[in-house]
Amino acid sequence: MTQYQLFATTPKAMEGILASEIEALGGQNVHQKLAGVAFKGDLEMAYKACLWSRTANRILLLLGSFEVNSQQDLYDGVKRINWFEHMQPEDSLAVSFSSKNNPAINNTHFGAQKVKDAIVDQMRAKFNKRPSVDTDRPSLRINVYLHNETAQLSLDLSGESLHKRGYRDISIAAPIKENLAAAILLRVGWPKIAAEGGSLLDPMCGSGTMLLEGAMMAADFAPGLLRDYYGFLGWKKHDSAVWQSLLTNAQQRREIGLTKMPVIVGFDQDRRTVATALQHVENAGMQGKIHIEKRDIDDASAAESWPKGLIACNPPYGERLGDEAETAELYRRLGEVLKNRFAGWQAAMIISNPELGFRLGIRSQKPITLFNGALECKLLRFNIEDNAFFEPKAKSQQERIEQISRRVENAQTDSPAEMFGNRLRKNLKKLSKWAKQNNVSCYRLYDADLPEYAVAVDIYQGEKTWVNVQEYESPKTIDPAKANQRLAGAMSEIPKVLGIPQQQVFLKIRRKQKNTDQYEKQGDSGSFHVIEEGGCQLWVNFEDYLDTGLFLDHRPIRQLIQQQAQGKRFLNLFAYTGSASVHAAIGGATSSVTVDMSNTYLDWAKRNFDLNNIRGDHKLVRADCLQWLAEQAAVKQKPQFDLIFLDPPTFSNSKKMDEAFDVQTDHVQLLKNAVALLAPDGILFFSTNFRRFKMDHAALDGLIIEDISTSTIPEDFARDQKIHYCWRISR
Residues 274-287: tens digit of each pLDDT:
999 999 999 999 99
Q: Same fold for the domain at 4-156 and the one at 528-731?
A: no
Task: Provide the β-strand partners of residue 532.
Answer: 537
In this prediction the pTM is: 0.61
Q: Label the pairing between strands 678-688 and 641-646.
A: parallel
Q: Is the dihedral of CA 697, 699, 703, 708 positive or negative?
A: negative
Rounded-to-integer distance, Cα 443 and Cα 717, Å = 9
Cβ density class 416-437: b for 16+ within 10 Å, e for less = ebeebbebbeebbeebbeebee
Low-confidence ranges of the chain (pLDDT < 70): 170-174, 318-325, 391-416, 473-479, 510-525, 653-659
| pLDDT at 515 (0 to 100) | 39
Q: Could you write out the three-class secondary structure of 437-496?
A: HCCCCEEEEEECCCCCCCEEEEEEECCCEEEEEEEECCCCCCCHHHHHHHHHHHHHHHHH
Q: Label the pairing between strands 58-67 and 150-156.
A: antiparallel
Task: Provide the β-strand partners of residue 292.
Answer: 266
CA angle (613, 615, 620) in 5-degree steps: 105
Please tell me the total number of residues recorded for the chain in this structure: 731
Rounded-to-integer distance, Cα 261 and Cα 269, Å = 25
Please state which CATH number belongs to domain 528-731: 3.40.50.150
Rounded-to-integer distance, Cα 34 and Cα 329, Å = 38
**What DSSP string runs through 603-661?**
HHHHHHHHHTT--SSEEEEES-HHHHHHHHHHSSS---EEEEEE---SEE--TTSSS-E
Task: Report how far apart, in Å, the C-alpha atoms of 318 and of each of 315, 476, 581 are.
Answer: 9, 18, 29
Please check whether residue 642 is in contact with residue 682, taking contact to mean a CB–CB distance below 8 angstroms: yes
Task: Report how far apart, in Å, the C-alpha atoms of 690 and of each of 231, 315, 722 are.
Answer: 35, 21, 9
The three-class DSSP label of residue 349 is strand
Per-domain residue ranges for the chain? 4-156, 178-222+256-388, 395-512, 528-731
The three-class DSSP label of residue 373 is coil
Of 615, 619, 610, the closest CA to residue 641 belongs to 619
Rounded-to-integer distance, Cα 325 and Cα 399, Å = 13
CA 265 to chain centroid, in Å, comes to 27
CA 111 to chain centroid, in Å, comes to 28
**Host H or E run for residue 370:** strand 368-372
Task: Provide the β-strand partners of residue 538.
Answer: 531
CA 108 to chain centroid, in Å, comes to 23
Please state which CATH number belongs to domain 4-156: 3.30.2130.30
Please check whether residue 315 is in contact with residue 330, taking contact to mean a CB–CB distance below 8 angstroms: yes
Rounded-to-integer distance, Cα 263 and Cα 285, Å = 16
Q: Is the dihedral of CA 185, 187, 189, 191 positive or negative?
A: positive
* Neighbour count for residue 448 (Cβ, 10 Å): 16
CA angle (657, 658, 661) in 5-degree steps: 70
Q: Label the pairing between strands 455-461 and 368-372.
A: unpaired
**Host H or E run for residue 116:** helix 108-127
For residue range 103-157, what is the model confidence (pLDDT) as tens digits? 899 888 999 999 999 999 999 999 999 999 999 999 999 999 999 999 999 999 9
Residue 97 phi/psi, 5-degree rounding, is -130, 135
| pLDDT at 390 (0 to 100) | 77
The three-class DSSP label of residue 322 is coil
* Neighbour count for residue 42 (Cβ, 10 Å): 17
**DSSP state letter for 126:** H
Please check whether residue 561 is in contact with residue 580, taking contact to mean a CB–CB distance below 8 angstroms: yes
Please state which CATH number belongs to domain 395-512: 3.30.750.80
| pLDDT at 679 (0 to 100) | 96
CA-derived radius of gyration, the chain? 29
**What DSSP string runs through 240-272?**
HHHHHHHHHHHHHHHHHHGGG---EEEEES-HH
The three-class DSSP label of residue 338 is helix
Rounded-to-integer distance, Cα 392 and Cα 333, Å = 12
Of 316, 336, 335, the closest CA to residue 327 belongs to 316
Please check whether residue 647 is in contact with residue 523, taking contact to mean a CB–CB distance below 8 angstroms: no
Rounded-to-integer distance, Cα 465 and Cα 176, Å = 46
| pLDDT at 606 (0 to 100) | 97
| pLDDT at 175 (0 to 100) | 78
| pLDDT at 657 (0 to 100) | 54
| pLDDT at 484 (0 to 100) | 80
**DSSP state letter for 519:** G
Please check whether residue 62 is in contact with residue 111, taking contact to mean a CB–CB distance below 8 angstroms: no
| pLDDT at 245 (0 to 100) | 98
Q: Could you write out the three-class secondary structure of 50-91?
A: HHHCCCCCEEEEEEEEEECCCHHHHHHHHHCCCHHHCCCCCC
CA angle (4, 9, 13) in 5-degree steps: 135
CA 511 to chain centroid, in Å, comes to 19
Residue 386 phi/psi, 5-degree rounding, is -55, -45
| pLDDT at 509 (0 to 100) | 77
Query: For the CA atoms of 395, 397, 399, 403, what is the dihedral angle to 10 degrees?
Result: 110
Q: What percent of the chain has pLDDT over 70?
A: 90
Please check whether residue 45 is in contact with residue 6, taking contact to mean a CB–CB distance below 8 angstroms: yes
For residue range 479-508, what is the model confidence (pLDDT) as tens digits? 677 778 888 889 999 999 999 999 999 998
Task: Report how far apart, in Å, the C-alpha atoms of 474 and of each of 390, 392, 477 are.
Answer: 22, 17, 8
Of 42, 252, 74, the closest CA to residue 157 belongs to 42
Percent helix, strand, coil in the chain, to 5, is 35, 25, 40
| Superfamily of the domain at 178-222+256-388 | Vaccinia Virus protein VP39 (3.40.50.150)
